[in-house]
Chain A
């Protein structure tokens, strides 16, 4: 290319390149300028020729080519500077590159300044810088996080060789960074290596595994639970080159969780079992429930359980009940069928509660035969004495193991927990896992111990209940069977409860008595009875015991009325115990009389016996003398014979009183009896000129021993005749009253003193100078023997009336 062409070519380039080009001399005079400089100045480019560069640019706060050229003029070196200018609110960056043009190899005569708009580039660069800073910061932050994270953050290559190991990992797993790096998954327990490899495969496929719960092994070998998130590490090309794992120790959480679940289960089981137990007050069923709860999988899950109760009298523990299979076969059979039936604990409890009580299993029988003496030093005895639970892990190494249990149950390991209620050991609960050999864990024991408290309380309840039930039954029996009337009356006189005796005495079924007013029922009145002890008890709120003569009921009663208060102390009524003592009174009197007579009778009989023989010979010979003698002597003999006869009469009277003479009854007319008796005393009536008045009613048949009755009446009449003076009156009256025949003997005699009246029927009681005192006693006895009664009305000086009442014959 020739020079001209070259010049031309250079000019084209000069004018058309996008960068501005300035050429300035040492005086900063602009020698040349191209079009592209135009965007950096406000003046047209054509006007810039020969202008002072400083004036054009520097003073107008534009880019400053001379500032950049100054260095090059001075140093002769290329100088590149970036200048920032603000124009019209926007920031622009210009890169000014100054190239020296040397005149004679040393002096820089001119400089060529290239001005490049690097605004875009600069903005981009700033962004990169910012990003870089950010990344750096994030990296730092992440590293901080990783390093300081509580979680273990570990990376490995695809083969499981550890490539990074943070502080968290050190802390959690116990391996230091140095220990871990370069090792093959040092924290994965052997038994998890296979599943871990599966994770590895999935991660190689780009999967992220989040929050896997698994186990890790610590440096010291302890296994811990971790929550693990595994992610692939990819290179720029998106290829998986490693694995990052973040893991967190959740053992604590797991434990808490487990504890919560266990507690929850325990509580719900306990709650259920104890509420089921509370509902059952029958001791037998209750014990079976307890043992079932102990042995069911859903319950405590022991293989066998026995409940021993303390027998205080014999100082031993006695097997009360046992639950468990008899043999391995049975055990597996039961477990099979149980899992098939899918019966829940509540179901089974319910079955026990309401179903027929079963008590015939082999193990049950075996258990009931076991007796553990408390005097010996064995685990069971200790559990009772020390009120502590015990676990025997191996009977071979426990010298205090209960030999009996080993011999009879074959147990090799067992646990026992005392059942304590109100500080008293009621018994012990014995459990073992004979069939599946599962060790008894601490948790088992904890639950067993919690359970035992409920059991003890329930047993105590059941026992109390049984006692109460028994007492109640006894009371009920007593209440029903006592012959006294017992009834409960409310404050407002309503009969609430009665026993059988009340119903019997009133002759009404209970329905007609209960709910009625007591005064209507017992006294036949419309108003409360004024003499009623119940009324007094209601007023005074204390018990009253009184003997009451009740005309409505007809008899004498001892009534005790006691106030009853409810739990809150409120008075609610009275309990009344009423004994009908009418009969008792009669009986008592009879007994007294009989006793007295028996005693008297024996003496009298013996005396009479000893007297009779001498009297017989005395009298007999006197009679013989009388026959043979004459005059005074004959008379004397006669006197002896007569006196003896009188003595014999007295003796006979005494003896006939003492003797139980058989009565021979027949049906006779009452009036005829009276006639016959009166005939017996006729001679005496005539002697004393006594007026006898007979008022005989309609003929009535009575079924009596006529001779005995005549004896009875004779004695009354004889007394009457003796009582009346000459010209006195004796009247005899007969009449029927209700179903009795009344014989009334009335005299106008001296009467009987009030003080004597109660004794007139007593043996040997007499006011007469001559007499045995047996006449009225015999009368009384004869009347009694006939089921009749005798009444006396008498007043001193006003005569006496004897009324004999004899039941009218049924025939």
Chain B
């Protein structure tokens, strides 16, 4: 299973990558919106974690483009700020507030992948 991690914070990228690789996933990372969309097409991930606040394109647009390309791929919106009410769940499958405790995220990914 391949996870695409989209986050501009390099430490978080690394943390997620190591943690999920430990869990047995294949992990690819992107640092901005443009890169994320390219990776989404090129790598064909099974699931995506997408930060909303990105340096180039707004995460919401990135989400929309991903859904246009392949609506079946689950995308978890992950953010430092709780935008839940503003965007609702929108087209994304899940929403999570970033936390140093990655257990919640791990459970969420497992759930979404088994659903498919």
Q: A residues within 8 Å of B by Cβ?
A: 605, 608-609, 612-624, 641, 644-645, 648, 652, 655-656, 659-662
Given contacts A613-B12, A620-B19, contact A605 B98 (CB under 8 A): no
Chain A hits for B9, CB < 8 A: 613, 616-617
How far is the CB of B68 from the nearest CB of chain A, in Å?
27
Q: How far is A641 from B100 in the complex, measured between Cα atoms in Å?
A: 8
Given contacts A617-B12, A621-B15, contact A612 B98 (CB under 8 A): yes
Chain B hits for A616, CB < 8 A: 9, 12, 15, 80, 98-100
Chain B hits for A609, CB < 8 A: 53, 80-81
Q: How far is A623 from B100 in the complex, measured between Cα atoms in Å?
A: 8
Q: How far is A659 from B97 in the complex, measured between Cα atoms in Å?
A: 13
Which of A620, A641, A659 meets B82, CB within 8 Å?
A659
Structural contact, A660 and B99, CB atoms closer than 8 A: no
Chain B hits for A620, CB < 8 A: 12, 15, 19, 100, 102
Q: How far is A623 from B12 in the complex, measured between Cα atoms in Å?
A: 13
Q: How far is A589 from B4 in the complex, measured between Cα atoms in Å?
A: 48
A-B contact pairs, 15 of them (CB 8 A): A608-B81, A609-B80, A614-B11, A615-B100, A616-B98, A616-B100, A617-B15, A621-B11, A623-B102, A624-B18, A644-B100, A648-B100, A648-B101, A655-B82, A661-B84
Structural contact, B81 and A617, CB atoms closer than 8 A: no
How far is the CB of A143 from the nearest CB of chain B, in Å?
132
Chain B hits for A648, CB < 8 A: 99-101
Q: How far is A332 from B52 in the complex, measured between Cα atoms in Å?
A: 91
Structural contact, A622 and B100, CB atoms closer than 8 A: yes
Q: How far is A660 from B12 in the complex, measured between Cα atoms in Å?
A: 27
Chain A hits for B14, CB < 8 A: 617
Closest to B9 in A: A613
Which 10 residue pairs across A and B have the least CB separation, nearest first? Answer: A619-B100, A612-B80, A617-B11, A620-B15, A613-B9, A620-B100, A616-B98, A662-B85, A609-B81, A609-B80
Chain A hits for B85, CB < 8 A: 659-662
Chain B hits for A621, CB < 8 A: 11, 15
**Interface 1/0s, chain B 82-114, versus A by CB < 8 A?**
101100000000000111111000000000000
Closest to B100 in A: A619
Q: How far is A648 from B100 in the complex, measured between Cα atoms in Å?
A: 8
- The number of inter-chain residue pairs (CB within 8 angstroms) is 66
Chain B hits for A613, CB < 8 A: 9, 11-12, 80, 98
Structural contact, B15 and A624, CB atoms closer than 8 A: yes
How far is the CB of B98 from the nearest CB of chain A, in Å?
5
Listed residue (B80, B82, B84) with the most chain A CB atoms within 10 angstroms of its CB: B80
Q: How far is A669 from B99 in the complex, measured between Cα atoms in Å?
A: 34
Chain B hits for A615, CB < 8 A: 100
Chain A hits for B101, CB < 8 A: 619, 623, 645, 648
Q: How far is A644 from B99 in the complex, measured between Cα atoms in Å?
A: 10
Listed residue (B9, B80, B100) with the most chain A CB atoms within 10 angstroms of its CB: B100
Given contacts A616-B100, A618-B100, A620-B100, contact A655 B15 (CB under 8 A): no
How far is the CB of B49 from the nearest CB of chain A, in Å?
12
Chain B hits for A644, CB < 8 A: 100
How far is the CB of B51 from the nearest CB of chain A, in Å?
9
Q: How far is A755 from B53 in the complex, measured between Cα atoms in Å?
A: 44
Given contacts A608-B80, A616-B12, A659-B82, contact A652 B100 (CB under 8 A): no
Chain B hits for A641, CB < 8 A: 100
Q: How far is A661 from B84 in the complex, measured between Cα atoms in Å?
A: 8
How far is the CB of A703 from the nearest CB of chain B, in Å?
20
Closest to A640 in B: B100
Chain B hits for A623, CB < 8 A: 100-102
Chain A hits for B11, CB < 8 A: 613-614, 617, 621
Chain A hits for B15, CB < 8 A: 616-617, 620-621, 624
Structural contact, B81 and A605, CB atoms closer than 8 A: yes
**Interface 1/0s, chain B 1-37, versus A by CB < 8 A?**
0000000010110110011000000000000000000
Q: With contacts A612-B81, A617-B15 known, what are 9 further pairs, Cβ within 8 A? A: A609-B80, A609-B81, A613-B80, A615-B100, A619-B100, A620-B12, A620-B15, A623-B102, A662-B84
Q: How far is A614 from B12 in the complex, measured between Cα atoms in Å?
A: 8
How far is the CB of A782 from the nearest CB of chain B, in Å?
15
How far is the CB of A279 from the nearest CB of chain B, in Å?
70
Structural contact, B81 and A624, CB atoms closer than 8 A: no
Chain A hits for B97, CB < 8 A: 652
Closest to A641 in B: B100
How far is the CB of B9 from the nearest CB of chain A, in Å?
5
How far is the CB of A7 from the nearest CB of chain B, in Å?
191
Structural contact, A656 and B82, CB atoms closer than 8 A: yes
Chain A hits for B12, CB < 8 A: 613, 616-617, 620
Chain A hits for B102, CB < 8 A: 620, 623
Q: How far is A645 from B100 in the complex, measured between Cα atoms in Å?
A: 7
Closest to B51 in A: A613
